Amino acid sequence: MKKIININFHGRVIPIEETAYEILKQYVESLRVYFAKEEGKDEIINDIESRFAELFSERLKKDATCITDEDVNAIIVSMGRPEDFEQDEFAQSGAAEPRTSQTGQQSASSEPTESRRLFRSENDKILGGVCGGLANYLRIDPAIVRILFALISFGGFGAGVLIYIIMWIAVPSRNLATNIRKRLYRNPETKVIAGVASGLAAYFHIAVWIPRLLFALPLILGIITSIFRNTWFGFDPGPVFITGGFGGTLFITYVILWIVLPEAQSASEKLEMRGEKVDLESIKNTIKGDLDGFKGRAKEMGDEIRDRAQQFGAEVKKASQQFATEAGPAVRRGSSGFAHAIGVLFKAFFLFIAGIIVFALIMALISLLFSGVGFLPFRYYLLSGFWQNLLAWLVLLLFICIPILGVITWLVRRIMGVRSRSNYLGIIFGGLWTIGLISLVIFVATMVNNFRTRASVEDDLPLAQPLGNTLVVREALGKISYEGSDWFGINWGHDAPFFGLNQDSVMMSTVRINVVRSLDSSYHLRRVRFSRGGDPNYAKMLAGQIQFEPLQHDSILSLPQGFAITPGQKWRNQQVLVIVDIPVGKRIYIDRSVDDYQWFDINLNERRRGWNMDWNQNQDYSWSSGVMYVMTEDGLKSLDRNNRENEEDQPQTRSDNRYRYQAPADSGKSRPSGRPEKLKRQPAESKPAVPKKQADSTAPPSASRRMEIDPVESYGSPIYILSA
Amino acid sequence: MNIENTQSQMRKGILEFCILSIIRRGEAYPSDIVEEMKAANLHILEGTLYPLLTRLKNADMLTYRWVESNSGPPRKYFSLTAKGLDFYKELEATWNELANAVNALAHRTKEMGGPAN
């Protein structure tokens, strides 16, 4: 029981046994080889095929249902095989006259003594056939010549282009036949992108994945290491040459090879690609191997409808390829044209762009993954309830990890050349990722819900009036620090709104100080504690739980470094606002140590259109730290003559302190003695001079006795170091 | 020396002439040509004939026309051109000379010196 296929043979549909078709194909291929150098070979082969078709029709008319092996063989016998032609054929030298005078053919392999001339190749050309002709003359692979030309053109500032154009004009063209046994082709059978790696593998007789890996690996390594190099500053795996430059060079090499190398489509080309002898036996085996391989793959695919459709598509592709090879060299060589080169460039460019987009997406996901993992210590404070925890884990695993896994799997498979036969993996990945996506949406919704409302608790705190006329506000000394709480080796103390984190508590430093004019003539202190929460009562309760108690020693108000939040309370953006009322004429000095406070807030715009994050660090305040102010009718006024507050932005490093304080010490500010008394008696007058009360015995006793810790008294002294 | 080689060489020499003779008598179709040669006891493979015909056509010795047929694809019918006819006449003259010369040599055995065969 044999399989029958229908072929369209010279305008007729002929039902023919598959095996008979194979025999016919081999025969035609052998003819093609035999007549390769013949001028009118297309016509000859066409005539022979026509004869076959006629004989087929006769057979079918005689009540045969299809053409069998025997029929084909019989016709071949009567037609004669190419090896038999030798017997009948004209001797080459005898009747060569009518041929050479008309066609001027060049058959180098059979007439080695004939002097060779350089021609341009008519049939093996991409632009003008210069390289093809040169390669034919030198008997080397045209690909080598093309690559050399490309190198010379790029490296010699276009010298190669000039040479090419000169040769194009000067050298005549002929139809040149292949005269090398082995040349580099692209192999379309096992191709992933363009078959360059497969062709190389076939040429050198090595496994397919070796050149593929060679091309892909430096590129991938380069990308990965460049990521790591940018995120972790201490990471340096080696010179960039290996991973960075090399990968780029190989990519360009791949594109060049893609343009330059033709695809091996016909059986004889495939044999040339491997460097095997092109004769009838090997052609027969190649075609047979093709067909067998196709049949084998067809069997593996099974009976699913989708697979049958794939099969059909592949058959169509194969049939069209066969048609292309049999219809004539014009179609085959069409792939070597100039249009091909342009087409390749476009394809490579689009592939490149697509690759970059996919890559950027994957990198975004990976970075999400890392940041997600990095936030793990926070989960006690952020997530409440079983569901939120579960959702968070689902999001992490499914939404973020799955696409990364999927892409890595796909990459590895393509490199290894494994063909996936079923879409199970794709469906599973897709389904899990969708679950992750849904989880993400729900997760974000619940999280936002937790922060919905904001409540505050305001208290008036007792404040004793400072005996001097200035109030100093500063952060309490003695920093609390958590052992082992550095996060990824980075000390977050100065940059984040918290400065300590462990499983029991996190120390928040979202504190802010506002200075306003007092309504009466005394200092006041108020404290407002904020918190967010799912509903107002809960928020209010959380706000009330904030522990933040300022301490006062005479004229120094010490604020705690921060306040602690426990996992039970959860972090709901708790904040503390300290409002200090200053009566007119009195002073306030806010020490630089309060710069450690980092206010953090998310609030909606006035028009409720968007939200902005408020990371201000004392920049928007009406005051600057480290400056002495006096309250006037119009607001705070700086007493600093140097106008240091204008240029003084947020001091990022503490080491500047000492250096800054030297400046006013050295600049000669007039310091009239005896002024201090005046200050007290005329409080409304703003003094231009910064009073320096360095060991001034006329200073009020109560204030000066605190000289060693009173920042105002020792203002400007080099001994003065407040914060580490 | 291979007998078959020599024999095929002899055949090759006269093949063109034979084909042209057949076509001279009238329009002929490749299959018919093969049949006629077989009838004349000169066997030739069709696969040999087609390239030969094509070469002759390319050399302007032959011309052809397409004839539609019901039982198969269209057929090529070859006929001699004027140039082909001249060529044929020259070949015919050469053949006659050759035939006479060879016959004379092959049958004249006793007139040369040396031992009789």
| Beta strands A575-582 and A511-517, pairing class | parallel
What's the pLDDT score for residue A324?
46
Residue A311 lies in a domain: no
Most confident region among A421-435, A483-497, A685-699, B81-95 by mean pLDDT: B81-95
CATH number of the domain located at residue range(s) B11-103 in this protein: 1.10.10.10
Which domain covers residue A201, as residue numbers?
A: 196-260
Best B9, B50, B71 member to test A by mutation, with max A CBs in 10 Å, is B50
Over residues A319-354, the pLDDT tens digits come to 666 554 554 444 344 445 677 778 878 888 888 788
Look at residue A710 and tell me whether its pLDDT is greater than 50. Answer: no
Q: Do the domain assignments include residue A290?
A: no
Condensed to tens digits (0 to 9), the pLDDT of residues A210-245 reads: 888 887 777 777 666 666 666 665 555 555 555 555
Residues A227 and A208 in one domain: yes
Most confidently modeled of A298-312, A403-417, A677-691?
Answer: A403-417
- Cβ–Cβ gap A94/B13 under 8 Å: yes
pLDDT band at B94 (very low <50, low <70, confident <90, very high): very high
The answer, yes or no, to whether ipTM is higher than 0.90 is: no
The DSSP-derived string for A674-714 is: THHHHHHH-TTSPPSSPP--TT-TTS-HHHHTTTTT-TTTT
**Boundary-marking domain end, from A91, A107, A123:** A107
Provide CB contacts within 8 A for A648, sequence distance 6+.
A624, A626, A627, A660
pLDDT band at A444 (very low <50, low <70, confident <90, very high): confident
Q: What pTM was estimated for this model as a whole?
A: 0.42
C-alpha–C-alpha distance, residues B29 and B50, integer Å: 11
Q: Which of A416-420, A699-703, B77-81 has the highest mean pLDDT?
A: B77-81
Q: How confident is the model at residue A464 (pLDDT cuts 50, 70, 90)?
A: confident
Q: Which residue has better confidence, B89 or A563?
A: B89
Whether residue A85 and residue B44 make contact (CB cut-off 8 A), yes or no, is no
Given a cut of 80, whether residue A655 has pLDDT beyond it is: no
Place of tokens 């762009």: A353
Nearest-Cα residue of chain A relative to residue B38: A78
Euclidean distance between CA atoms A20 and A33, whole angstroms: 20
Same domain? A497 vs A587: yes
Q: Greatest CA span in chain B, whole angstroms?
A: 66
**Chain A residue with Cα closest to B48:** A85
pLDDT tier at B92, thresholds 50, 70, 90: very high
A133 lies in the same domain as A227 = no
A615 belongs to a structural domain? yes
Is A150 in the same domain as A241?
Answer: no
Cβ–Cβ contact A253 with B under 8 A: no
The reply to whether A527 and A634 lie within a common domain is yes
- What is the residue whose two structure tokens read 């201090």? A676
In this structure, is residue A490 part of a structural domain?
yes
pLDDT of A436: 81
Residue A130 clears pLDDT 90, i.e. is over it:
no
pLDDT, residue A5, reads 92
- Tell whether B46 lies on the interface with A, counting CB pairs under 8 A: yes
Residue A482: inside a domain, yes or no?
yes
Alpha-carbon dihedral angle through residues A689, A690, A693, A696, given to the nearest 10 degrees: 0
Min Cα distance B59 → chain A (Å) is 6
Domain final residue pick, A88, A107, A126? A107
Looking at the structure, tell me whether residues A444 and A464 fall in a common domain: no
Statement: residue A292 has pLDDT above 50: yes
Contact A10 B73 (CB under 8 A): yes
- Is residue A53 within 8 A of residue A12, CB to CB? The reply is yes
A97 shares its domain with A113 = no
pLDDT the model gives residue B77: 92
Helix (H) or strand (E) holding B47: helix B46-58
Q: What letter does residue A480 receive in the DSSP assignment? A: -
DSSP A135-201: HHHHTS-HHHHHHHHHHHHHHTTTHHHHHHHHHHHHS-EE------S----B-STT-SSSSHHHHHH
Q: Rounded to the nearest 10 degrees, what angle do helices A18-34 and A69-79 cross at? A: 20
Tokens, residue A447: 């999280």
Distance CA A544, CA A575 (A): 11
- Please state the domain extents for chain B: 11-103
Which of A431, A450, A469 is at the close of a domain? A450
Counting the structural domains of chain A, the total is: 5
Half-sphere exposure of A179 (CA within 13 A, CB side): 22
Interface of A with B in 15-54 (CB under 8 A): 31, 35, 38-40, 43-44, 47-48, 50-51, 53-54
List pLDDT tens digits, range A602-650: 655 455 555 555 554 444 456 777 778 887 777 777 776 554 444 444 4
Give the pLDDT confidence score for residue A96 in this predicted structure: 37
Residue A713 — pLDDT band, cuts 50, 70, 90? very low
Average pLDDT, chain A: 70
A467 and A590 share one domain: yes
Tell me the pLDDT band of A540, cut-offs 50, 70 and 90. Answer: confident
| Count of residues in chain B | 117
Q: Are residues A430 and A474 in the same domain?
A: no
Looking at residue A99, its pLDDT comes to 38
| Minimal C-alpha gap between A79 and chain B (Å) | 5
- Residue A5 bridge partners (DSSP): A16
Same domain, A477 and A398: no
Name the residue among A39, A79, A95 with its Cβ closest to that of B47. A79
Question: pLDDT higher for A67 or A698?
Answer: A67
Given a cut of 80, is residue A419 above it in pLDDT?
no
Name the DSSP class of A637.
E
Residue A663 has pLDDT above 90, yes or no: no
Domain annotation covers residue A200: yes
pLDDT of residue A245: 59
User: For residue range B7-65, what is the model confidence (pLDDT) as tens digits?
Assistant: 888 888 888 899 999 999 988 899 899 999 989 888 888 888 898 899 899 999 899 99
Residues A563, A575: Cα–Cα separation, whole Å: 9
Cα separation values, A108 from A32, A93, A132, A144, A329, Å: 18, 14, 15, 20, 20
